[in-house]
């Protein structure tokens, strides 16, 4: 199976204060793990800058301008909220993170590859159309979904978000879009404290599965399989987009779920199997969270192995 890996050195340019958990070492740890010769099969492509038109499919012009044109002097920051601040390299990194999912989308649709993983940062699933928050600047997966609809005329899209945090931004961007499915399984109560059971039912279908901290991997799997996997299978999408956050891992410092490395293999295999059945294999995944560097690297490799196994 042809799998693309998208990344770019600019994704390292977005930095925070000392101790900032969403830091450049995250993508570095993933890319270092994927240098192993067993990943020679990956089609490695450079993440381009996002087109302005793609950003505007989700965000208003003033918001896009603010993110792209705010460049503080070296060593300084422009704070948006407690854990979201623009550094001198943020605009380039955020632009390439959004550009990566669009480029990956185009590649799976024109058949250059079957599926793709975007090893980029900053993540995107907390950013709402007019509000950057929670380490996120552009709503990357929602942008790819709207590009798929508006440029490629692919309307039925399933977005699956297995990050430990609720994908409030993706939900806000897509819930009123017809033929969209958004499913998120996440810790609750926990940041950002949204995503309490079917809280948004617009033209699209939103499925939220809030579960308490301490949930076992077995209980997580049972709920995910019975609800989200089943939903996606019944929905019969033409494309699957994945908010691949790896902070539901038992070793993650920001979450209190207990997934193991092999759960991410299972997630990759299950989602790719559904993509093979319904979407001619088309699946694009983008890195969201994951803050234990070793667990993040292992989980990403396991997820990619899972995609390959399907
Ligand atoms: Zn997260």
The rounded distance, in Å, linking the Cα atoms of 47 and 27 is 13
Instruction: Encode 149-184 in three state secondary structure.
Output: HHCCCCCCEEEEECCCCCCHHHHHHHCCCCCEEEEE
Residue 284: per-residue pLDDT = 99
Which CATH number is correct for 3-309, 1.20.210.10, 3.40.50.2300, 3.40.800.20, 3.30.9.10?
3.40.800.20
Structure confidence at residue 65 (pLDDT): 98
28 CA to centre of ligand 1 in angstroms? 18
- pLDDT tens, 267-277? 999 999 999 99
Give the DSSP letter string of 53-93: HHHHTTS-HHHHHHHHH--PPTT--EEEETTEEE-TTHHHH
Residue 59 is predicted with a pLDDT of 98
Active site annotation includes 190: no
Residue boundaries of the structural domains of the chain: 3-309
Distance 121 CA to ligand 1 centre (A): 12
For residue 5, the cross-strand partners are: 44, 117
Distance between CA atoms of residues 231 and 106, nearest Å: 25
- Residues in the chain, pLDDT under 70: none
- Output the CA 153–ligand 1 centroid distance in Å: 30
Strands 205-211 vs 239-244: parallel, antiparallel or unpaired: unpaired
Assess contact for 166 and 208: CB atoms under 8 A. Answer: yes
Under 8 Å between Cβ of 231 and 148: no
Provide the pLDDT for residue 102.
98
> What pTM was computed for the model?
0.98
Two tokens at 65?
A: 């301008």
pLDDT given at position 19 = 85
154, 43 Cβ separation under 8 angstroms: no
Cα Rg of the chain, angstroms: 17
CA atoms of 234 and 157, how far apart (whole Å):
12
Res 51: pLDDT: 98
* Ligand 1 geometric centre to CA of 245 (Å): 6
For residue 269, the SS3 value is: helix
- 164 CA → ligand 1 middle, Å: 5
C-alpha count within 13 angstroms, C-beta hemisphere, residue 29? 18
Q: Which of 126, 249, 265, 278 is catalytic?
A: 126
132: CA distance to ligand 1 center in Å?
15
Question: In a 3-state reduction of DSSP, which class is residue 101?
Answer: helix
């Amino acid at each position: 199976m042809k799998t693309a890996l998208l990344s770019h050195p600019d994704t390292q340019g977005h930095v925070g204060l000392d101790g900032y958990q969403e830091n450049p070492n995250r993508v570095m740890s993933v890319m270092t793990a994927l240098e192993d010769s067993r990943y020679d099969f990956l089609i490695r492509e450079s993440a381009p800058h996002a087109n302005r038109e793609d950003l505007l499919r989700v965000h208003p012009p003033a918001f896009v301008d603010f993110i792209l044109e705010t460049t503080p002097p070296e060593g300084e920051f422009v704070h948006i909220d407690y854990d979201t601040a623009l550094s001198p390299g943020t605009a380039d990194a955020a632009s390439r993170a959004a550009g990566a999912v669009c480029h990956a989308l185009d590649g799976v649709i024109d058949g250059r590859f079957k599926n793709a993983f975007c090893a980029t940062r900053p993540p995107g699933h907390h950013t709402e159309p007019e509000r950057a928050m929670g380490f996120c600047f552009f709503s990357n997966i929602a942008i790819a979904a709207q590009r798929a609809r508006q440029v490629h005329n692919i309307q039925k899209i399933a977005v699956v978000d297995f990050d430990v945090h609720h994908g409030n931004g993706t939900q806000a961007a897509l819930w009123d879009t017809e033929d969209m499915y958004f499913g998120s399984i996440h810790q609750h109560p926990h940041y950002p404290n949204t995503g309490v059971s079917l809280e948004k039912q617009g033209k699209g279908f939103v499925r939220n599965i809030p579960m308490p901290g301490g949930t076992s991997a077995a209980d997580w799997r049972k709920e995910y399989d019975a609800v989200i996997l089943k939903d996606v299978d019944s929905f019969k999408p033409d494309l699957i987009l994945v908010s691949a956050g790896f902070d539901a891992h038992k070793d993650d410092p920001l979450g209190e779920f207990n997934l193991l490395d092999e759960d991410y293999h299972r997630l990759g295999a299950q989602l790719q199997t559904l993509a093979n059945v319904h979407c001619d294999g088309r699946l694009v995944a983008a890195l969201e969270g994951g803050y234990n560097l070793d667990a993040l690297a292992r989980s990403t490799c396991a997820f990619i192995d899972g995609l390959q196994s399907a």
